[in-house]
Structure 1
Amino acid sequence: MDIRFKDELASMPDLRHRLRRLRWFRATFRASARAVTEAYGIRFVIDDAKLTRAFLDWIEIAEADKKFAEIDRADFIVFAAGLVLRELIRQDPAKATGEVSRQNDEAAGQESTEEIVRFWPEGFLYTNYCVSAVAAIHEQEFGTAPTIDKCADDLRTWWSYRENVTEMPAYAVAFLDRFLGSEPNWVSPDHVPSRRAMRQMLQSLSGQPATGLPTQ
């Protein structure tokens, strides 16, 4: 996946906290849309009301689950991005409205991504934004970004992705995990205690099979 926007995000200090503010969330999402337009020639119109609703719905859930960041911060960052993706798909604030000429050949995107963008421009925008954010935050926090799985460049995967999240937006969390090389939870994708990394960490902390947060 072409995540050139990651470098722009990574240049922003304390990105993890900035993206939890509506002003920065909206600004970076719009910048991501411009980056996709420059690379692939797809013009987007952004509905600010829907984008704001996606943010507010996401931040409410993320705040309720943020205690899990103390258990495995790296995995929680991926999970939180999956929730953003779910809400973006659910609210669908972007609409591809046509094509524009690219300014120069150097800005052109990867050929392997081109057909995916043409197939589902809005879905690519939402997913690319979330993958770029995870990569940038991990780079800032841990010094390295997750390796993107090759399935992220497979149009067949995107056919399945679009079909499944149309029926059940929560599957967006599982597909983001898959794109980032983690094992998805297809049964309860947006239930953070059910994530494999969280369960393993809880089991390690308690010495017992984990079913929830450790008791104090």
Structure 2
Amino acid sequence: MFDLSRSIRNLPGTNKPLRLAVRQLRWFKAAFRSHAEFCGKAMECDFRVDDIKLAGAFVRWLESIDRQKPREKGERQDFFGFAPSLVLRELVADMPISAECAPAGIDPRSAAGFWPEGYVATTFCLTVYAATMDQEFHIDVHVSEMVDDLRSWWSFRENASEDTGYAAGFFQMLLGNEPNWWMPTNFSARTRSVPAQDNIEINYSAE
């Protein structure tokens, strides 16, 4: 279901580089609301966004990345790939979005139908990340097929309800990386690439 290219085109415009725009609350809120509306149309479901919760997640995320920002320029690209996983952790910690009805336009047994709020939050992070990587490094982001795999989402929701750090690890897996499950929110515990076919198997082992 997830169409990354269409989702990127739906982001609000800005005259600043995305790496700077995303650090501004006004653009961050506008982008999140736009993405929620975009997903709502596809799902045939209206979403309500809590601006206070969204602002809280934004502030906690900025504080987290500012604490972990590497000094070495050679780590810049890796950090760009790590930072959005921390956004997802904060969004899952205090979900700022709620579905006002069951999605009518998708299979209720799909990943988006199973947890529409989590799906919107996760694809929002993927969208901003992919757009930023293209702008900064001219890199096309490839998202694992597990983004639409229901069993992976069962594991994600269950584990993140007990430890929100799991959300960061799940995001890293969507990008083809194997998280350090002991410290998935710690940049110094660097992730490593794994074969695409192994992604879902790793996720199931966490159930």
Aligned to 1:208: none
CA distance in 1, matches of 2:79, 2:11: 19
Describe the shift of the 1:97–1:148 C-alpha distance in structure 2 as closer, same or farther (beyond 3 A). Answer: same
Please report how far the alpha carbon of residue 69 of structure 1 lies from its aligned counterpart in structure 2 after TM superposition.
6.8
Choose the corresponding residue for 1:151, options 143, 146, 149.
146
Contact 1:46–1:95 at 8 Å: present in 2 too?
yes
CA distance in 2, matches of 1:181, 1:114: 24
Please report how far the alpha carbon of residue 74 of structure 1 lies from its aligned counterpart in structure 2 after TM superposition.
2.2
CA distance in 2, matches of 1:181, 1:21: 28
**138-147 or 6-15: bigger deviation:** 6-15
Describe the shift of the 1:99–1:31 C-alpha distance in structure 2 as closer, same or farther (beyond 3 A). Answer: same
Describe the shift of the 1:158–1:101 C-alpha distance in structure 2 as closer, same or farther (beyond 3 A). Answer: closer
Aligned to 1:163: 158
Q: Is 1:15 aligned to 2:18, yes or no? A: yes
Q: Counterpart amino acid of 1:74? A: Q
Aligned to 1:61: 64
SS in 2 for 1:45: strand
Choose the corresponding residue for 1:51, options 50, 54, 59.
54
What does the per-residue CA deviation read over 1:7-60, in whole Å, with 9 as the maximum and x for residues that have no partner?
Answer: 233964511110001111101000000110111112111111100100011111
Aligned to 1:29: 32
Please report how far the alpha carbon of residue 100 of structure 1 lies from its aligned counterpart in structure 2 after TM superposition.
7.6
Aligned to 1:173: 168
The TM-score normalised by the length of structure 1 is: 0.80
CA distance in 1, matches of 2:72, 2:130: 17
Matches within 5 A, 1:106-117: 115-117=110-112
Describe the shift of the 1:56–1:69 C-alpha distance in structure 2 as closer, same or farther (beyond 3 A). Answer: farther
Choose the corresponding residue for 2:78, options 75, 78, 88.
75
Aligned to 1:201: none
Q: RMSD over aligned Cα, in angstroms?
A: 2.2
Larger Rg: 1 or 2? 1
CA distance in 2, matches of 1:133, 1:94: 17
Please report how far the alpha carbon of residue 93 of structure 1 lies from its aligned counterpart in structure 2 after TM superposition.
0.7
Please report how far the alpha carbon of residue 145 of structure 1 lies from its aligned counterpart in structure 2 after TM superposition.
2.2
Please report how far the alpha carbon of residue 101 of structure 1 lies from its aligned counterpart in structure 2 after TM superposition.
7.4
CA distance in 1, matches of 2:11, 2:191: 28
Q: Counterpart amino acid of 2:113? A: R
Please report how far the alpha carbon of residue 67 of structure 1 lies from its aligned counterpart in structure 2 after TM superposition.
2.4
Structure 2 gaps, min length 5: 193-207
The TM-score normalised by the length of structure 2 is: 0.84
Percent identity of equivalent pairs: 38
What does the per-residue CA deviation read over 1:135-168, in whole Å, with 9 as the maximum and x for residues that have no partner?
Answer: 1111111112221112222111111011111110
What is the aligned residue count? 189
Contact 1:171–1:186 at 8 Å: present in 2 too?
yes
Contact 1:89–1:123 at 8 Å: present in 2 too?
yes
